Chain A
Amino acid sequence: GAVVSQHPSWVICKSGTSVKIECRSLDFQATTMFWYRQFPKQSLMLMATSNEGSKATYEQGVEKDKFLINHASLTLSTLTVTSAHPEDSSFYICSARSFRLAGYNEQFFGPGTRLTVL
């Protein structure tokens, strides 16, 4: 149980285009989903937290107009990188949390999406 999927697993795009990454909780309803970014050989940095049906909360320094997050249902959150640039190339990881499943203290992670912007 507690499986989280991400799609696509990798994507290459041209500079200036937008890319959408999907995060799905497959066998549970996620009240909260999180988006992390990980640059090579670095740690995971939280970008934003989203609760179903409400606006995402972005961490300091993360541009909300550039990284659009939509959490339309209890099993799906999307991250859209708008007008992507090479510096947005990174590994994006989502996670999901269900209070009913594991309280507030455990997140279930997706496999990640590697974005390369040319």
Chain B
Amino acid sequence: KAGVTQTPRYLIKTRGQQVTLSCSPISGHRSVSWYQQTPGQGLQFLFEYFSETQRNKGNFPGRFSGRQFSNSRSEMNVSTLELGDSALYLCASSLDGRGNTEAFFGQGTRLTVV
């Protein structure tokens, strides 16, 4: 079966701009979680969506938002980009999003803010 697809793979944006990242989960998976990864910082949890509802949210400013569509595809938006937003953004899909089943990660979107 097809894996988790994230688009785009690479992105360069200017400070102050906004960006939208997309994640298509594995077919049948209703949970999509988003993570920010920077060197030495591990996986910082952004939010988790399940059946179009945000169930959990990490400690990120309101500039970071997301949504999930009825087909479980999810988008993440970052407004008013700052240099510190440069990172690898990973999404993970799973059946329940609670850690009872394996999470499958996409290849990630590498965002560079200049």
Q: Do A and B come from one complex?
A: no
Residues of B whose CB lies within 8 Å of any CB of A are none
Residues of A whose CB lies within 8 Å of any CB of B are none
